Structures are given as C-alpha cells and as structure tokens.
Amino acid sequence: MDYLKIKGQNNLNGTIKISGAKNAALPLLTSTILASNKVEISNLPNVVDIRTLLKLLEMLGATFYHQDTDMSIDTSKLDKTIATYDIVKTMRASILVLGPLLARFGHCEVSLPGGCAIGQRPVDLHLKALETMGANIEIKNGYIVATAKDGLQGATIVFDKVTVTGTENIVMAAALANGTSTLINCAKEPEVVQLCEVLRDAGVAIEGIGTNTLTIVGTNRKLLEFKPFKIIPDRIEAGTYLCVGAITNSILKIEDVIAEHLEAILIKFEEMGFMILKEENAITICPANKVKPVNIVTTEYPGFPTDMQAQFMALATMADGVSVIDEKLFENRFMHVSELIRMGADIKLNGTVATITGTPKELLGTDVMATDLRASSALVIAALVAKNETTIHRIYHLDRGYDRLEEKLSSIGANITRDKE
C-alpha cells in the first residue's frame, strides 16, 4: 500500500495546470451508453475513479482507446446490463450507469454502491424518480433490479432534496424516455450543466440548463449521435491547490480553470485576507499580511462546496482567530479532524459544527491516516506547513480524485515523495 512523505515549510512558487473534472467525467462517460456512435472525449483526468468506471463499461461491452487525456469510446455493441458488486463497491458513482442502462435496454441490475464513508447518500431519490417514469424496482441480494419493458415514460419528478448524481441519472434516463419529463429541484453544479449541454448537442431537447428545473423531451429509445467534447476543469482540484498557495503564503498561479465555477471559494479566500487575481482561464493567489478567521457553511452549488470543507479547515489552522465550519450536507465528513489534531491543530466538534482556533505554534509532522478523498488532500495541505516530516497513509483515497498530485506539488517546490509500506 502506498503512502506519502512530506517535509514541510518549503518555499513554494510557480504554476499548476488543472486537470479535467473527475465529477464531470464520470457522468459523461456513463452517458455514452446512450450513444449510437464512437464518442471522442478530451481532457480526461488520469485518476483511479475514471479507470474503475472504464473497467465497468468494458465489462458491459464497451471498447475504448485511451491516450494521455484523450479517449475514443464505443458503446454501440453493449451486450450486458449487470453492474457487479466487485466494481460498484469501490466507487459510489457507478450508480450512474443505472439510468442510461435502464433507458436503453429496459432492464438492468446494479449493485448497491460503496465509495467514501462520509455519510449516508441513499439512492432512494434515484429509484423513486425511475418508478415515477414507469420502472419496476426491486432490491434483491444487494442489487437494484430495474425493469421497464416498454421503455421509460416522460414524467414530472420533484426531487425531495438536491442530489447531484440523482439529477444526472434521471437526466440520462429522460433523454431516451418516451415523452417529456420535467425535473424539479435539480442540482445546478457545473458538472450537471455540462452533462445537459453534451446531451443537448447530441440531439436531446433540454430546456432550463443551469437552473433547478429541467424539461427534457426523450427520443423514445432512439440512440444519440454524440459530438466530440472536452471535460471542464476540476474546480475542486483548483480550490485545493489554491489552499496550498494560501496555507504556505505563496504566490501560486493555477491555469486551465473557469473562475466562475469557483466564486464561492474565491470569496472565502478574500475574506481571509488573500489577494485573488483573475485572468482568462487562470487564477493567481497572493499572500495575506495576516490570515483572518472565516465562517463557512457548506451547501449546494453555487454555495460553498462540501468537497472544499476539509481543505479550508486545514487552512483555518493558520488563521489569527477562531473559524467556524458548519457541514450541512454530510453528517460524517469530519473524519479528518482527529488527524489534524494529531498534528497539533486546535479543533472542537459539536455535531455538524467545527470550531478551529488558529494557533501561533507550528503544526508538527507525524503519521496520519487518510479517511476519504478530500480528507486526504487536507492532510497534504497541512503537511506542507508542518515542522519536520509527515507520513500520510492510505492514500488510495487521494488517488481516486487527484491527477499526478506529487508531480504537480514537486513542480512548485514541495518536498513530497511516494513510497510503499
């Protein structure tokens, strides 16, 4: 099992290029199940979650050619509709094959998902929506068995709560349904927007893209002609590296980024005293004279993302004062707190609220353990300013979502190496 060794307190400076967004690439890859043609994709990130999903698509009968960040994938000859437990257990996003498989074939079996242990993320919203569209859903031996012999039917669906993967799954299902679907209380994340745009460009009539209400006219199981597309930049990776620049009080430029997707994050950096310089496709963070404490409440886009909460908690340990972070979306997303405390952070938890007292004393390097994807990056961020060496174990979590992290950090002066236990 791999681990990272980081010697902190190095001077950092330079430019980091942001990779394609994992959370956009996953639904876009599953959407190719709806394609009649070979689909050309560019800016695909090289992370474990992508490789896992490609393995699943291959098991279903897809073929693909992959070179660097470019891919050509052909799902026209899919002949299987079972997503097995051994794949799905490692990545919750595998549930995204449910909607397109059912819409195309009228039957599928998908194992109940696994993934990061950050709290309950039930798939009941997905299943309820599919039932509204005429599907018969049963849970058998840990599998979702879904059937729609005559195809899915357009329907009006109201999501009881905002769900990103739920919205994506039902958008893909509605694309091949018979009739018009109206989806209400949809997620508005940039990753959802790109999925809708790609399906629209493939011939699906979709109105309301970027809003919380989508109207989709299905093709009645006619497969789509996809045009080539490029994965949008990863806004969470961008925010993570901006936190690297902030905590080390460095001048750091990130390129290949869409600033509009990062507005809620950039506002918090400015509240903490950092200067943000925006250019077309680039953002530079400049040092603060004094790092001010911050109050953060996680919420759905365009609010502050839960996927940046852990990284800002690490940054808040350097603030001059008390910061408060209220995690509204996932009840178990503070597992990194105990590891940051091991490094000397002063953090108190009360339910979903974390209070971080920035300490003038230095964080101290030690052995810590990653517990989920974003917690891993928070530990890396903290280790970059810690005195002495930090060893981060179980970094397979990190590899699920960060493309060439050691290489990118080393390029700006970080002392970081990967080794095996």
Q: Which helix (H) or strand (E) holds 350?
A: strand 346-350
Please give the torsion angle defined by the CA atoms of residues 107, 112, 115 and 119, in that order, rounded to the nearest 10 degrees: 130
Give the integer Cα–Cα distance in Å for 36 and 56. Answer: 19
Measured at the CA of 336, the angle between CA 334 and CA 341, to 5 degrees, comes to 110
Q: Which residues of 329-343 are buried (b: 16+ CB within 10 A; e: fewer)?
A: bbeebbbbbebbebb
Catalytic residue from among 108, 116, 196, 243: 116
As to burial, measured by CB atoms within 10 angstroms (0-12 exposed, 13-18 middle, 19+ buried), residue 310 is buried
**For the chain, how many helices (H) and strands (E)?**
14, 24
Give the integer Cα–Cα distance in Å for 346 and 358. Answer: 7
Nearest to 231 by CA among 71, 90, 62: 71
Is 116 marked active-site? yes
Task: Estimate to the nearest angstrom the gap between the alpha carbon of 63 and the chain centroid.
Answer: 25
321's tokens: 């004062």
Alpha-carbon Rg for the chain, nearest whole angstrom, is 22
Interacting residues of 225 by C-beta distance below 8 A, sequence separation 6+ = 35, 36, 37, 202, 203
Give yes or no for a contact between 225 and 32, defined as CB atoms under 8 angstroms apart.
no
Nearest to 358 by CA among 272, 278, 419, 287: 272
Give the integer Cα–Cα distance in Å for 166 and 183. Answer: 11
85's tokens: 């437990």
Give the integer Cα–Cα distance in Å for 400 and 366. Answer: 23
* Amino acid making up residue 62: A
Catalytic residues: 116
